[in-house]
Amino acid sequence: MSATVRFEVNGEPRSVTTDPERRLLDVLREELDLTGTKYGCGEGQCGACTVYVDGEPARSCLLPVSSVAGKSVTTIEGLAASGALHPVQEAFLEEGALQCGYCTSGMILGAAALLRRKPDPTDEEIAAGMNGHLCRCNGYVKIVQAVRRAAVAMRSARRA
């Protein structure tokens, strides 16, 4: 059975005719060519497939595409505004907080959501807030440094 599912992706209206139970992750990657969203565990455990649904982080490996009908999805490709990298993206680059990069899209989206909730987190709060995002390269020290750097940059941008 197939159905047409309409939703917004990175600010653009999209429609996909497919099995409505198909994973959002697969639709993003295979139908919409948004391959920044990664398949890691497929079981909601690693965070590699993180996207925002109506602004909130969600694991796209666990969501049937029908569940986002009428909603707004943001992927890593949509995080940068007006051609400028998001401060969390900048901070990951500046800190070298990626090795193979497989976890990075999910990490960045998770970190940006964390900093929306908690603009001045301690290292412990960063670690707790990023719990559920796994890095197979074990790059956690630099990831925490990058989140801290992004927090500083975002707070000073707000003051400017």
Interacting residues with ligand FES (CB under 6 A): 39-42, 44-49, 59, 61, 98-104, 135-137, 139
Q: Strands, DSSP E only, in the chain?
A: 3-9, 12-18, 50-53, 56-59, 72-74
Question: Looking at beta carbons only, is 121 or 139 nearer to ligand FES?
Answer: 139
The pair of three-digit structure tokens given for residue 135, joined into one six-digit string:
């890095």
Exposed e or buried b per residue across 45-78, where buried means at least 16 C-beta atoms within 10 angstroms of its C-beta: ebbbbbbbbeeebbbbbebebeebeebbbbbbbb
Query: What residue type is 52 in one-letter code?
Result: Y
Question: Looking at beta carbons only, is 39 or 118 nearer to ligand FES?
Answer: 39
Q: What's the closest the beta carbon of residue 18 comes to ligand FES, in angstroms?
A: 19
3-state secondary structure at position 90: helix
Question: Looking at beta carbons only, is 48 or 130 nearer to ligand FES?
Answer: 48
Question: Looking at beta carbons only, is 4 or 131 nearer to ligand FES?
Answer: 131
Q: What's the closest the beta carbon of residue 93 comes to ligand FES, in angstroms?
A: 13
Distance of CA 86 to the CA centre of its chain: 12
Q: What's the closest the beta carbon of residue 41 comes to ligand FES, in angstroms?
A: 4
